[in-house]
């Protein structure tokens, strides 16, 4: 196969970063002397932990870093130097030649534009001769390829779930039929079935159109399933590269071996699944809980007497969570998992049904009473960077809940916050005065856990808390959460689309589909004897490393 994309001796340093020299070994390039090639139709997976330089490499190759960034080496596409392209050439290069799919789709989508407007703008900016009908046909075909119904293209990004927004971002990348796609963690926010659909579609397109794919991911299992070759990145360098099967079966570098061991540990080591229940009533009891949203019809539809469309995000959920257990809630993007969590917290009031916590119906409480109850129910979100105020230090973020609930004086709160930071593995002297931007993803999530635990809640709702972390950091955070569960007598509602994480961490699993709980039972039974067809589909879609004989 002919080489389509070539990177030679690439080095990248951000503004203000001190470069490595003989007298100063502590400061290194973000990307340090990286070389690789990618042929037309080939799929290369670039894996490594958070902060290793994967995303920096992808953005440098697309010329998306600031002009003040120092870049050395050569990047060539179809023989042309990418680093020497003029602004006009660079505009055509991005989109028509190479398209980029970001990890967070909201960085790509304008909240004031509909999906239809996003797609048509992308087409018309590059292919001005397309008629309105031709553009519409192309857009609808592309949206259908990523499983977005045609009746949703007039909606705005905020009306989509995280996974659905990512499908829109992928559709935008595919619209112009590029020769190469750089996908930077494209399925982090997607459940296994949708991730499998998207990656199967990308794989098919690569084969049919001889389109290259650079898949940047922390998920070794995912890369092993869908890529031809694998490049392992560590501290700015590619430390190992080769065919996927060879590296997964015979890893040579110690870092590659540690990544594999962490991934296999999650997939092969479930918890004891011993459900610890209290002698009294359930800690949390949901009864016929419903959360409906109405999509208002446009003016013409109303003239034609068409009714508004109702979305049943949560549709009659009845569920008990016992004190001391970890209940996993799994299901595909858009099935209602996150909506259910927000409804439990009463961040959105339910359409109908009840939420009983410690015997009290939260749906009947006034705002002031709810605020008191929320001290006992805390939440850990998927993206710690998004839930931590960038203008507040780590210490201020952890102290804040104690002051909000009037639990401690500022002096007492500072002492408690330092104790909690130490408990989650962050030395207070090193981290208390730092800002979230100075921390890695795993460190940010530890801060988020400390903030959630500082009020000593009884229930923690964890919404995809480790989905954005690489396997080794995932394992560390999950094992920390298991320790904290015992130490603080916690109950977890653990929302995830990662079935292997759910098996490792949860006592029971509730499978959610289209707003309903379709299957509920002990973790071991769900995995060994799934009863519902949807559960069976989820398990079949989950990529597995066990088929590789690791030496």
Question: For the residues 378-402, what does the mean pLDDT come to?
Answer: 90
Query: Which among 268, 295, 322 is the end of a domain?
Result: 268
Tokens matching residue 93 = 């290069």
Task: State if pTM tops 0.75.
Answer: no
Same-domain pairing of 407 and 358 = no
Using alpha carbons only, what angle is made at residue 251 by residues 246 and 255, rounded to the nearest 5 degrees? 145
> Does a structural domain hold residue 476?
no
One domain, residues 129 and 257 = yes
The answer as to whether 76 is a domain residue is no
Do 101 and 218 lie in one domain? The reply is yes
- Between 97 and 26, where is the model more confident? 97
Domain contains 65: no
Is the C-alpha dihedral spanning 340, 344, 345, 349 positive or negative?
positive
Is there a contact between 175 and 136 (Cβ–Cβ < 8 Å)?
Answer: no
Has residue 270 got a pLDDT over 60? no
**pLDDT for the residue 71:** 93
Q: Does residue 291 belong to any structural domain of this protein?
A: yes
Q: Among the three residues 234, 268, 302, which one is the final residue of a domain in this structure? A: 268
First to last CA, the chain: 30
Residues 312-355 have pLDDT tens digits of 889 999 999 999 999 999 987 778 888 999 999 999 999 999 99
Residues 223, 143 share a domain: yes
Please give the residue range of the domain that contains residue 162: 45-60+92-268
| Nearest-angstrom CA–CA distance, 1 and 98 | 18
How many beta carbons lie within 10 A of that of residue 421, not counting itself?
A: 24
Q: Is 169 found in the same domain as 125?
A: yes
Residue 193 placed within a domain: yes
For residues 345 and 248, membership in a common domain is answered with no
Mean pLDDT to the nearest integer, 512-535 = 93
Q: Which of 91-100, 274-283, 393-402 has the lowest mean pLDDT?
A: 274-283
pLDDT winner (highest mean) among 172-176, 264-268, 292-296, 304-308 = 172-176
Task: Based on the fold, state whether residues 187 and 100 are members of the same structural domain.
Answer: yes
**pLDDT surpassing 80 at residue 300:** no
Number of domains in the chain: 3
Asked if 168 and 208 sit in the same domain, the reply is: yes
Buried-exposed string 4-16: b where 16+ CB fall within 10 A, e elsewhere: bbbbeebbbbeee
> Nearest-CA neighbor of 191 among 530, 472, 531, 539?
539
Strands (E), 296-403: 309-321, 326-330, 352-357, 360-361, 377-380
385 CB-contact burial (10 Å; exposed 0-12 / middle 13-18 / buried 19+): middle
Binned at pLDDT 50, 70 and 90, residue 258 comes out as: confident
Closest CA to 414 of 399, 430, 433: 399
Q: Which residues pair with 80 in a beta bridge?
A: 77
Residue 550 falls within a domain, yes or no?
Answer: no
Q: Are 156 and 189 contained in the same domain?
A: yes
Position 3 in a domain: no
Looking at 217, 245, 268, the residue that finishes a domain is 268
**Closest Cα to residue 491, out of 378, 400, 383?**
378
Long-range residue pairs from 394-397, CB within 8 A, at least 24 positions apart, any chain: 394/421, 394/426, 394/431, 394/432, 394/433, 394/434, 394/435, 394/436, 394/439, 394/447, 395/421, 395/428, 395/431, 395/432, 395/433, 397/436, 397/447, 397/451
* Residue 30 belongs to some domain of the structure: no
Question: Are 358 and 389 found together in one domain?
Answer: no
**Average pLDDT of every residue of the chain:** 86
Lowest mean pLDDT among 70-79, 227-236, 277-286, 377-386: 277-286
Residue 301 confidence (pLDDT): 56
* 450 and 464 fall within a common domain: no
- pLDDT at site 298: 60
**Which 3 state secondary structure label does DSSP give 39?**
strand
Say whether both 227 and 135 belong to one domain. yes
């Amino acid at each position: 196969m002919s080489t389509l994309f070539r990177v030679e001796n690439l080095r990248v340093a951000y503004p203000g970063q001190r470069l490595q020299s003989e007298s100063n070994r502590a400061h290194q390039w973000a990307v340090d002397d990286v070389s690789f090639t990618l042929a037309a139709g080939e799929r290369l997976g670039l894996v490594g932990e958070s902060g290793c330089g994967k995303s920096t490499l992808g953005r440098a190759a697309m010329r998306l870093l600031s002009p003040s960034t120092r870049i050395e080496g050569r990047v060539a596409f179809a023989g042309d130097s990418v680093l020497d392209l003029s602004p006009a050439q660079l505009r055509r290069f991005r989109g028509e030649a190479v398209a980029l799919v970001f990890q967070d789709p909201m960085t790509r989508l304008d909240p004031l534009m509909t999906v239809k407007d996003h797609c048509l703008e992308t087409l018309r900016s590059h292919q001005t001769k397309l008629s309105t009908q031709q553009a519409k046909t192309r857009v609808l075909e592309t949206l259908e390829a990523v499983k977005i119904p045609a009746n949703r293209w007039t909606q705005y990004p905020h009306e989509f779930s995280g996974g659905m927004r990512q499908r829109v971002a992928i559709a935008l990348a595919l619209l112009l039929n590029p020769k190469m796609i750089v996908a930077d963690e494209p399925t982090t926010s997607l459940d296994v079935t949708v991730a499998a659909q998207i990656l199967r579609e990308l794989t098919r397109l690569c084969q049919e159109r001889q389109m290259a794919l650079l898949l940047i991911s922390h998920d070794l299992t995912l890369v092993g399933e869908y890529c031809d070759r694998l490049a392992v990145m560590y501290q700015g360098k590619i430390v190992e590269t080769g065919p996927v099967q060879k590296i997964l079966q015979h890893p040579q570098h110690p870092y590659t071996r540690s990544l594999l061991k962490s991934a296999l540990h999650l997939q092969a080591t479930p918890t004891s699944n011993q459900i610890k229940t209290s002698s009294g009533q359930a800690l949390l009891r949901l009864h016929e809980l419903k959360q409906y949203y109405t999509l208002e019809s446009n003016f013409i539809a109303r003239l034609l007497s068409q009714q508004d469309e109702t979305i049943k995000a949560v549709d009659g959920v009845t569920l008990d969570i016992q004190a001391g257990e970890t209940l996993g809630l799994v299901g595909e993007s858009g099935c209602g998992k996150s909506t259910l969590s927000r409804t439990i917290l009463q961040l959105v009031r339910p359409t109908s049904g009840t939420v009983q916590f410690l015997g009290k119906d939260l749906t009947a409480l006034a705002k002031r009473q709810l605020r008191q109850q929320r001290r006992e129910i805390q939440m850990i979100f998927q993206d710690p960077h998004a839930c931590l105020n960038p203008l507040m230090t780590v210490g201020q973020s952890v102290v804040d809940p104690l002051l909000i609930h009037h639990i401690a004086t500022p002096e007492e709160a500072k002492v408690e916050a330092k104790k909690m930071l130490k408990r989650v593995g962050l030395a207070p002297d090193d981290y208390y005065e730092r800002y979230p931007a100075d921390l890695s993803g795993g460190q940010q999530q530890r801060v988020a856990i400390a903030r959630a635990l500082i009020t000593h809640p009884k229930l923690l709702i964890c919404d995809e808390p480790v989905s954005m972390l690489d396997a080794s950091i995932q394992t560390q955070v999950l094992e920390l959460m298991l320790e904290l569960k015992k130490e603080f007598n916690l109950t977890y509602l653990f929302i995830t689309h990662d079935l292997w994480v759910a098996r490792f961490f949860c006592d029971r699993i509730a499978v959610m589909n289209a707003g309903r709980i379709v299957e509920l039972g002990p973790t071991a039974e769900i995995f060994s004897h799934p009863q519902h067809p949807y559960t069976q589909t989820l398990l079949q879609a989950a990529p597995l490393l066990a088929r590789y004989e690791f030496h």
